[in-house]
Amino acid sequence: MTKRVLIAGFKHETNTFSKLPTDLDAYRKRALHFGEDIRAAYSGTNTEIAGFLDACEKYGWEPVLSVVADATPSGRVTREAFDTVSGHILRTIEEGGVPDAILLQLHGAMVTEHHDDGESALLSLIRERVGRDVPIGVTHDLHANVTDLTAELSDVLVSYRTYPHIDMHETAMRCAELTARMLNGEIDPFVTVLRGPQLDGVDHGRTTAPGPMRDILALADQLTREHGLLSASVNAGFPWADVGYVGPSVIVVANRDNRGAEIAADALRAELWRTREVMTIAPVAASQAIAEARETGRIGAPFVIADFADNPGGGGYGDATGLLRAMIEAELKDAALSALFDPESVAACEAAGEGADIELQLGGKLEPSLGAPIAAKGQVIALYEGKFRLEGPMSTGLALDLGPVAVFRVGGIDIVLASNRAQNYDRQFFSAFGIDPLEKQVLALKSAQHFRADYAPIASGIAVVDEGGGITSHNFSALDYKHARRPLWPLDDVADGAARS
């Protein structure tokens, strides 16, 4: 008889220092799909959901499509949003009957208004409906903060192995393969998770250059072979979450009787601690980045500047003005920035119309302490709906919607103003709005690392700006952690780095 496999996704990377609640509207702006609409939205894309769909075809399963919800990182997920999405998954089970297996696309760093561990809250509700005998396979982002309860409630738990995350589809296939083996009675998996006394580590998970993350993944592969493990994942953690279990972790999936699982997990956890201070990037001030851009950037090979501390992909507001102000004051030519979150300025551009010369108060509206609004005179170059499809290596083929968009030119700088927050990790953030990245000498992005996947091949140089402010800055001491377990490096002096926590 054909196996029925429920497919669902409920993702959020929650920055608890953000003042923006993640409500249902936040999900609608990015991704909220039900039933067969899921197939239309994700088939053929480089995503976990596409991987799950392909796995169903590979193994001859009947996919039971429930809901896929994803929102741009921001503050805690509201109770209404959590109850709506989780409730739909539960109704799918109640109305269609208990499936033979469940495949879930989760982030691993969801925090809700009523639960610090959104993933285990969801898994607990599902387990109440289906019991312990139904296999549940879960994918996680590499920046998951993984709890013991999430591990206990999952049969298979695997994370991405790349940052930028270009292996989403592959991760889903690995998860589905182990789930298939469990369904066939070939394995009896058990999930082990360990973490150490640290807030950040493994170079925040970067895999674009030789460094600790590549090394520890190689060690994970070696230990998998030596101990006969089913899977070994390394998570860099998401440090901008003030929760007790925050920080890097290792996940080992092995047969229940495999005593090597604990040995392997402990060896990987020790490596997390040993390499905690190694970084492959050196953030600089905006002034230094602009000086490098002037010297290096050229048409055909632009210099790329990433605004690390205001990265919407980590929960940043996306409207901080420090970098843009420095660019304007430097009177850069042939430059562009995408995207500045500023729906008010977009509305003003729409009211004025294309070609109009107007003065705007750009950005700085959500948290002026991170950069006050910039009074700037310029021209409305173009207006757009803001919908496009990604063409780069990350989430290839996925549709995004920035809401109404205006391209506003100040001097020699074209500024993409957006009505929805989003991290720029694809050249379409420029190209979709009439800006050819190869026709600019300087490109400025609201991003931290993902941009490298699509921009590094064309860049003459790259600089990452982090001046110590912003809710995605690596200056962790500037953030008010109240709930994270202590002591925790680098917030505290840790006497015993070998201790589990």
**pLDDT tens per residue across all 501 residues of the chain:** 899 999 999 999 999 999 999 999 999 999 999 999 999 999 999 999 999 999 999 999 999 999 999 999 999 999 999 999 999 999 999 999 999 999 999 999 999 999 999 999 999 999 999 999 999 999 999 999 999 999 999 999 999 999 999 999 999 999 999 999 999 999 999 999 999 999 999 999 999 999 999 999 999 999 999 999 999 999 999 999 999 999 999 999 999 999 999 999 999 999 999 999 999 999 999 999 999 999 999 999 999 999 999 999 999 999 999 999 999 999 999 999 999 999 999 999 999 999 999 999 999 999 888 889 999 999 999 999 999 999 999 999 999 999 999 999 999 999 999 999 999 999 999 999 999 999 999 999 999 999 999 999 999 999 999 976 889 999 999 999 999 999 999 999 998 776 666
Residue 494 lies in a domain: no
- Residue 361, strand partner residues: 375
Looking at the DSSP bridge assignments, the partners of residue 374 are: 362
Which residues span the domain enclosing 9? 3-275
Q: Which residue has the tokens 């589809």?
A: 169
CA 162 to each of CA 58, 100, 171, 245, 316: distance values in angstroms, whole numbers, following the listed order: 24, 30, 10, 22, 22
- 371 and 225 in a common domain: no
pTM: 0.96
Has residue 107 been placed in a domain?
yes
- The verdict on 237 and 373 lying in the same domain is no
Give domain status of residue 338, yes or no.
yes
Q: Both 250 and 327 in a single domain?
A: no
In a domain, 478, yes or no: no
Domain presence at residue 293: yes
pLDDT of residue 501: 67
Which residues, listed in sequence order, are joined to residue 378 by a DSSP beta bridge?
358
Residue at which a domain ends, from 275, 296, 315: 275
SS3 content of the chain, % helix, strand, coil (to 5): 35, 25, 40
266 and 304 inside one domain: no
Residues 333 and 444 in one domain: yes
User: Do 265 and 360 belong to one domain?
Assistant: no
pLDDT of residue 280: 95
User: Domain of 218: which CATH number?
Assistant: 3.40.50.360
Residue 460: count other Cβ atoms within 10 Å of its Cβ: 17
Per-residue model confidence (pLDDT) at position 498: 66
* Cα 341 to Cα 364: distance, rounded to the nearest angstrom: 9
Count up the domains in the chain and report the number.
2
Say whether both 41 and 103 belong to one domain. yes
Backbone angles phi, psi at 438, to 5 degrees: -80, -5
Residues 105 and 244 in one domain: yes
CA pair distance 74, 158, nearest whole angstrom: 24
pLDDT of residue 370: 82
Give the pLDDT score at 500.
67
Residues 6+ apart with CB under 8 A from 91: none
Distance in angstroms (rounded) separating the CA atoms of residues 340 and 359:
16
According to the model, what pLDDT value does residue 14 have?
Answer: 99
